[in-house]
Amino acid sequence: MCTPQLFISVASQGLKLFSSISQQKSARVQAQHQNAIAKQNRINKETAEQFRIRQKRKETMAKAYEQVREGREARATAQASAESVVGKSVDRLLQDFLRQEGEYKNALLNNLDAEVFASQQRLEAFRTQESAQSTYVQDVNYLMPLANAGLNYSNDYFVWKEAQDMKDLMKQSSQGYFDKAVDSVQ
């Protein structure tokens, strides 16, 4: 008792079911791809930031080393010239020089600490940005599209069945009329 109308309904609901599942799978793959891009973007930014802070650390250490080297040369020169001069002025000059050298090194290290802290904050921001760029990956739901297709088919079946019942009822009610008309003609 499979009429063309019901066959078309079954085919239509089957296509809708497969289309819905295909769309869900495609959305899942797209979300996974988007998350992979966001993760790679974060990794690239973190790598660049870590390289930048390493370079900054090397630069600061090179400045500090240069300051130590220049300080040793200046102290040696001052001590060599101070051998001929005796007094507190040379001692004060050396102490002032050492104080300035210490302040310079302290300023360099404080700047480096600030850079490291800012770098850590940027790394945390990269992780947060990755979370913001990531999307939720949904599982493919087979039950809902299948249930939807079943309900749509049952609706089509009941519409068809109602039309068949109405057709049969009209046929029964009109059949007595046609039988009387045929008898009167004879």
Cβ(173)–Cβ(23) below 8 Å? no
DSSP calls for 87-120: SHHHHHHHHHHHHHHHHHHHHHHHHHHHHHHHHH
- For 95-132, the pLDDT digits (tens) are 887 888 888 888 888 998 999 999 999 999 999 999 88
Mean pLDDT of 43-57: 92
Domain ranges of the chain: 4-164
Mean predicted lDDT score pLDDT of the chain: 83
